[in-house]
Amino acid sequence: MRKPSLRAGKSILATALLAGLMACSAGFARSKPVALPDPTLDLPSTAAAGEQTAVFAGGCFWGVEAVFEHVKGVRQATSGYSGGNSGSAEYDTVSTGRTGHAESVKVVYDPSKVSYGQLLKVYFSVAHDPTQLNRQSPDVGTQYRSEIFTTSDAQQKVARAYIAQLTAARVFPAPIVTRVEPLKAFYPAEAYHQDYLKLHPNDPYIVYNDAPKLVHLKQLFPTLYKGG
């Protein structure tokens, strides 16, 4: 499990947030889901079942992983690190913010059931706040940045087009700061990070920062939401 000092730090902070910021959550947790338009450009769906991979970074990977685990068509979501090298892909090192890594989630999905564009819509609407630079909720540092790591030129084209579409529509009150870069490598995180929300649903950090994302997912995407 997570080292006591690291986990305790997040839990203490989250407890303070719960006690003092429930009535004023601006800057820490989005109070309402953001309804977004469908992407005008998307990757074509396939008739036959298969597997494709997408990688997203948007704050602490616990919540991002949990969101995508509850999307129909997603076969697996794995917390990990992207953006740096293999030698620094370790939690304590990444947490310094000096490795180039971002806490990321690898999403393996069936394109016959959910499209890349739909995953982007989930990512921008409920998985994180794309207007926060190098932070999400109470977590601050480059390792918490908003970034899409694309696995193909086609993914990069769709991701950039959707950002341009959302920017033109002015759906957010501030500019989108999400980066789009080709994926160089994905390194799975330590075992105690995997399925963290499922295994620790009562952790104050989870209760305040991540559990609401699942509520928003169910509200905005009732046909895509899967329980469990």
Q: Where are the domains of the chain?
A: 4-220
Model pLDDT, residue 109: 97
60 among known catalytic residues: yes
Question: For residue 109, what are its two tokens?
Answer: 């999905």
- Quick one: pLDDT band at residue 49, thresholds 50, 70, 90? confident
SS3 97: coil
Which one of the listed residues 57, 60, 105, 217 is annotated catalytic? Answer: 60
Model pLDDT, residue 10: 55
Residue among 2, 11, 6, 20 at smallest CA distance from 203? 11
For range 127-153, the mean pLDDT = 97
- Assess whether pLDDT exceeds 50 at residue 3: no
Pairing of strands 146-150, 179-182: parallel
- Assess whether pLDDT exceeds 50 at residue 18: no
Question: For residue 222, what are its two tokens?
Answer: 């009732």
- Assess whether pLDDT exceeds 80 at residue 15: no
Cα–Cα distance measured from residue 29 to residue 114, given in angstroms and rounded to the nearest whole number: 27
For range 98-108, the mean pLDDT = 98
Superfamily of the domain at 4-220: Peptide methionine sulphoxide reductase MsrA (3.30.1060.10)
147 near 179, Cβ under 8 Å? yes
- Total number of residues shown for the chain: 228
Maximum Cα–Cα distance across the chain:
51
Element (H, E) at 218: helix 211-220
Non-local CB neighbours of 86 within 8 Å, separated by 6+ positions: 185, 187
SS3 199: helix
For range 70-75, the mean pLDDT = 98
pTM: 0.88
Positive or negative torsion for Cα 9, 13, 14, 19: positive
187 near 80, Cβ under 8 Å? yes
147 near 133, Cβ under 8 Å? no
